[in-house]
Amino acid sequence: MPTTDDVFAFADRFIDALNVGDAELVREFYHPDATVWHNFDNADQPLPENLKLLEWMVRKAPQRRYSVLRREIVPGGWFQQHVLEAQLPNGRAMKLYACCVITLRDGRIQRIEEYVDPAQAAVLREK
């Protein structure tokens, strides 16, 4: 059973990979059958679709950074509150606050339950 330090070290490496924005690097943190559930549509998104979303976000907001505001151990993984801040090429800024419950299986992410307000990301759809 992983220790709190082990889980938090894994979580830090995961955030670092997200900040790099390399979908193949991020994929290494997940089980192949992992899913990401969103509160705003109550849908489980398969990993390949979620990685396509990451690639789209990197194209739309090449200057972005995830910052962890809070992290706690929960049974089977961790809870995290973070903010994604981005400076878009059109000069607009974005702040997207999120809470996530991340479930691990065999040392990799099996599921993320993500709570966000998609209106905060509306600037990504602007030209």
pLDDT score, position 44? 96
One-letter amino acid for residue 76 of the chain: G
Residue 47 Cα distances to 8, 52, 119, angstroms = 22, 9, 23
Which residues in the chain come in under a pLDDT of 70? 127
Identify the CATH number of the domain defined by range 4-125: 3.10.450.50
Segment 77-98, tens digit of pLDDT = 999 999 999 998 888 899 999 9
- Which CA distances in Å does 114 have to 90, 92, 126? 27, 24, 23
Helix or strand holding residue 62 (H, E): none
